[in-house]
Structure 1
């Protein structure tokens, strides 16, 4: 094992041996190298005559560029747009995003969390976390209504076993009883659990309420208290898009930080959905654990291992994307712009709810609860979801996502408010066609 990895392991083990025990074999071996990058950083500070360390080209003391490339970029210098970013991410962006976490989640005040590490959006962040924390045979607990890529990232690539619980109970609320039973059953025979909490949920658009979030924290804390290590991942891709009072306005992450030495919370979020910059691919990984000593050193060690995985996979996320996101976050118009877009999406969600109250749809489908995010789901009563999906494409020019036999996902995020009625009428017509 590399001596730097050994040093980081000892820091983590000394601060909290349970967190160290949760690391995968890859995670234990990860480190951030003190090679070319470290030497280049030192040279940038001290090499006042010639700096011939980094694999980039310069011209007359400035970053070399093609005018045809920079012609498409305004408001940023060639250095800001074209050069490498640190594997950790731009320091200023990390700081500003962390400040935003405290502002958006007031319950985090006074808690110790790591400085976010920048990833190539949340999918890459999840892949980094899978590398660091998941070994073959580890269990991953997810609801039955889930984003399918979790299985690819943790199951196919890392060999984890995916175990599901039923997301909703008969009343349409988050199924706390099923969640608790699943967690306790798996904890009875395992030393470590990995739990993903995705709210707003993809595909249903559901976010738990504050009381449900409290109970989730209590359930996972009780499991940790009983002797099982718990890695709790909050996938907050659609954070902030909460459309009614039933949805908790804070991340479940706030209910998990500093709860128990055996419970490590990891927040995955990003500008991707929150700031409507899907293709810029800017995400973040933030840790929140209970460390018995050396909190800052432990967080730093986790950040270095995480940045080591970024370095060993993509080297670093796009500097241009990070600079664009940072510039927007610092803009005085940013809050106003976000609120304007939020109101558009909220209006679409309200219109979906209004339209679906029409009794004419009652014998065709049930509606899964939704209060947030980009999506909502129908549970079809008579039609096969895949057959209906294809029929709607072929005969109505309507594209939806089929999930299993009964579920149909509608992304109202890309529907104009005035088109909502027509879409659901088309779905109903398609069902009637198939019934004939």
Structure 2
């Protein structure tokens, strides 16, 4: 029997990740057969049509201009004030909610989720998200002794399943007083679905009804990692205005990350933005989340925060970044449109895709399908309910024929 010295709650933990595993297979195949013979649809980062990792040119220029003392120095635990204000202005745009809004710097979007789970759910509580979700949600919950449960994202009309959402909320609130909900929209990972304004109205009505019981504390995290690749700037932000004038026991947390929006993935910079009708809740939000930051990463990347603050303070720089990003949004959209056209021609069923880095195809045997697809040197990620295709990372030329190959693989393993 193997020896173990870890505490009981850590026994058996192991950092296995299907996404990184799938990418490793693609890298191995590229080394064996040549990069041009391999399609790697596993990577959750933006690659251009030469398969090079993209950094927005103006972001790179500004980042390289930051003084070395600003790059290497510690940052305030809460984050640089200029960065926090820039993050809120950038996120909300013209749709700032009528509410108290406060921001705390985090280590990327994952840091937002960590703090939200730790501070807004009780130990052993269940956190709620959709049945199609980013895998680390589960790890983030289990690491801090919570459970993750899901409801079906889509109803039979392939729209947001408000009925299932309401039923699951009622069931969980019958057992616990705190409820944390994570919704990844717009441009959901892994499907590319965006919750509509009408669906947001339904979601908020359900939450407000649940919050009529003053003993219940409800927090919704809007994971907006892909916001800036989800469509026209003002249109895709309109839903934020709906977060205003809520009951005091209903808190919204917006999870912002520089990873996709400013192509600074590895710099690990994000911000959690609290939206509440109550001044005490707003102050508490700042206090508890700054405390959690001190207890985890202490403080985050000063140079990247300064980069965003500098860009957002200069209208010309900001406009240039927006223009550059819009060009890459169109690149991804073109890839997704091509895949969708070929999927329709091949009678391959896709889940609804509006925008974003990923699209998904449902399957009851995703691992078998992906294994078969790998035989064609096409690599994707097998999820619990289907296959994820990273259109953000596949050159347009390699998108051609992908849907047909996927359909062939699915038919072969029926």
What TM-score, normalized by structure 2, do the two folds share? 0.78
Give a deviation string over 1:138-170, Cα, whole Å, max 9, x none.
22111111112111112x122223221111011
Question: 1:264 corresponds to which residue?
Answer: 251
Contact in 1 for aligned 2:351/2:360 (Cα 8 Å): yes
Question: 1:376 corresponds to which residue?
Answer: 359
Matched, 1:413 2:392: yes
Contact in 2 for aligned 1:239/1:251 (Cα 8 Å): no
Q: Secondary structure at the match of 2:150?
A: strand
Contact in 2 for aligned 1:265/1:287 (Cα 8 Å): yes
Aligned Cα root-mean-square deviation (Å): 2.3
Q: Equivalences for 1:184-223 in 2 at 5 Å?
A: 184-199=170-185, 200-223=187-210
Question: 1:29 corresponds to which residue?
Answer: none
| Equivalent residue for 1:345, pick from 332, 336, 340 | 332
Contact in 1 for aligned 2:120/2:178 (Cα 8 Å): no
* Distance (whole Å) between structure 1 residues aligned to residue 373 and residue 281 of structure 2: 53
Question: 1:313 corresponds to which residue?
Answer: 296
CA gap 1:203/1:102 in 2 versus in 1, 3 angstroms: closer
Give a deviation string over 1:56-93, Cα, whole Å, max 9, x none.
xxxxxxxxxxxxxxxxx841222111111111111111
Question: 2:101 corresponds to which residue?
Answer: 113
Q: Equivalences for 1:79-118 in 2 at 5 Å?
A: 79-103=69-93, 106-114=94-102, 116-118=103-105
Question: 2:373 corresponds to which residue?
Answer: 392
Question: 2:5 corresponds to which residue?
Answer: none
Using the TM superposition, give the Cα deviation of residue 326 of structure 1 relative to its aligned residue in structure 2, in angstroms: 2.9
Using the TM superposition, give the Cα deviation of residue 334 of structure 1 relative to its aligned residue in structure 2, in angstroms: 1.8
* Distance (whole Å) between structure 1 residues aligned to residue 149 and residue 116 of structure 2: 18
| Equivalent residue for 1:129, pick from 116, 122, 126 | 116
Contact in 2 for aligned 1:82/1:320 (Cα 8 Å): yes
- Report the count of equivalent residues: 346
* Distance (whole Å) between structure 1 residues aligned to residue 226 and residue 261 of structure 2: 6
Matched, 1:426 2:414: no
* Distance (whole Å) between structure 1 residues aligned to residue 299 and residue 357 of structure 2: 29
CA gap 1:426/1:214 in 2 versus in 1, 3 angstroms: same
* Distance (whole Å) between structure 2 residues aligned to residue 433 and residue 139 of structure 1: 38
Gaps of 5+ in 2: 1-62
Q: Secondary structure at the match of 1:219?
A: helix
Question: 2:309 corresponds to which residue?
Answer: 326
Using the TM superposition, give the Cα deviation of residue 433 of structure 1 relative to its aligned residue in structure 2, in angstroms: 4.5
Q: Secondary structure at the match of 1:127?
A: helix
Using the TM superposition, give the Cα deviation of residue 298 of structure 1 relative to its aligned residue in structure 2, in angstroms: 4.8
Question: 2:219 corresponds to which residue?
Answer: 231
* Distance (whole Å) between structure 1 residues aligned to residue 111 and residue 192 of structure 2: 22
Contact in 2 for aligned 1:213/1:248 (Cα 8 Å): no
Give a deviation string over 1:82-105, Cα, whole Å, max 9, x none.
1111111111111111122331xx
CA gap 1:167/1:74 in 2 versus in 1, 3 angstroms: closer
Gaps of 5+ in 1: 1-72
Higher relative contact order (CA closer than 8 Å, sequence separation 6+): 2
Give a deviation string over 1:23-74, Cα, whole Å, max 9, x none.
xxxxxxxxxxxxxxxxxxxxxxxxxxxxxxxxxxxxxxxxxxxxxxxxxx84
| Equivalent residue for 1:282, pick from 244, 252, 269 | 269
* Distance (whole Å) between structure 1 residues aligned to residue 232 and residue 301 of structure 2: 35
Using the TM superposition, give the Cα deviation of residue 310 of structure 1 relative to its aligned residue in structure 2, in angstroms: 1.0
Contact in 2 for aligned 1:243/1:349 (Cα 8 Å): no
Question: 2:151 corresponds to which residue?
Answer: 165
* Distance (whole Å) between structure 2 residues aligned to residue 348 and residue 259 of structure 1: 40
Contact in 2 for aligned 1:230/1:264 (Cα 8 Å): yes
Question: 2:164 corresponds to which residue?
Answer: 178
Using the TM superposition, give the Cα deviation of residue 236 of structure 1 relative to its aligned residue in structure 2, in angstroms: 0.9
Bigger Cα Rg? 1
Matched, 1:401 2:384: no
CA gap 1:336/1:248 in 2 versus in 1, 3 angstroms: closer
Q: Secondary structure at the match of 1:107?
A: coil
